Structure 1
Amino acid sequence: MKDFDIKFKWIGASTWILSIDNLKIGSDPVLCQKDTLQHYRFFKTKRRTEPNYESKDFENIDFWLLTHEHEDHIDAYGVTKIEPESKVYANSNLKKWLKLIYATNVDYLKWGEKKIFEKENLKITIEAIPCVHASNYIAAKLAGSVNGYWLTVEKNKSKIQIYVTGDTVNHQKVKTFLKGRNADIMIPNIGAGGLDKFGGPYTFTANQFMDFEKTVNPKIILPVHHKTFSLYKEPIEKLYAYNDNRVLKFDEGDTLEVK
């Protein structure tokens, strides 16, 4: 990745900013304050931490990756940070959120669908990747559709592959879709969300992830979607305990140079 200048900032939950040269990508803006209680269909969750960002973080974002409609991924505060000039790639169940601000400049992607975004000397192919958002069939159906994303970033003769898992578990359907791919950077949603609920966990446990990651063999792993909400039941230390030097350690508000 020496041909690219890459920076990553985690704001909390699955909200992050990824900069590649002069390109700026945002993900899943959920910015409610600490102690906000969110009401889901069958349970509640509380935000444990303040979102850690500066206003400039959300300025001039070239495109957003929106995975799904759940309020630990997008909320009434976060959606206002999506500027009308920014391109948005989203699951179709985000329509009810995006109509609050504008209804143009959005591509709703089905699994396997691809779009191309170009800026200066960068060409980015965005592909929607399947997710299975629970550990049994009934809970997965109730949770609804979720997109992961695979980004292929090309500059001259250089290329990097970035996999954003979205909310998924270690399911054969997802692994089959990804077979034969290799990721330079993987941004997985960890935290064993809903581990104590029907059909849980809804996202990777550390143990699940360490099996799943072999599918794409990432060079660098940037784990998010832990700590922020009470729904996330497993501490990140469970993943750190594997002592895998590909797993970078950072906290909410931290900015990393990814090399």
Structure 2
Amino acid sequence: MIYTQEQIARYLERIQYDGPLDVSMDTLNGLIYAHQCQIPFENLDVFDFKKEIDLDPQSLYRKLVLNERGGYCFETNGLFYGMITSLGFDAYPCMCRVMFGVEDPADHEIDHRATIVRMDGKKYFCEAGIGAAMPPEALEVAENKWQEMKGYVYCTRTVEEGWYATVRKTKSGGEKMELLFSLLPVHEIDFVRISYALSHSADSKFCRMRVVNRRTPRGYYDLTDDVFTEEADGKKTVVKLSRDEIPGILKEKFHLDISEPLRPL
């Protein structure tokens, strides 16, 4: 067990989850959605504060649970994986490529982690750590099997040998490939150098811009540098913020009470 019962209880309080805790799909889906809605995806430590990212499970617990911060995928999905395995789920970490704006996997490096859960002879892709762009529940890994979840429709599809895509149906009836993942089990240590590169390289998106995102029951909140976007019931509102307005938005919309000065843009 990675986390103690006391730590699990504090995590459940943090994500405001009071549902079942048995090893079931209802529990798994509830935990994914609650985690997405309460723990934001954010790179403030990398972009604004120039702090080192520590992927040790206890460090993740202190930052994301006790200190009520968010994190980027290696942190948020790392915490989620540790919590569900401590609850008894049969799970392992997997490597991913986020494909926003990219068509060919050869054009984009591995830059993300998620979790595969095994249950009742099936495998499920679980993503809790990248904000509102991902499935809000566990997605069965089954070729072109469309699955409806909380108003969204997704499937998985083989892209190349060993790699699968999460595909979302758009409101216009099209399809959008969001992310590629591998079913090959990996270990926590496999993410250390990837995370270090993404948090230090001048070419990394996380070093070049501020990115904060949180799912909401009606859509999502997003902050990219100084541009705040709210999507609610399919309608988007976009506002450019002044430097003085950003801390208030971080607190009100993302539940991030930041006392350190943010980086000038």
Q: TM-score normalised to the size of structure 2? A: 0.30
Greater C-alpha radius of gyration? 2
Q: TM-score normalised to the size of structure 1? A: 0.30
Which structure has the highest helix share of the two?
Answer: 2
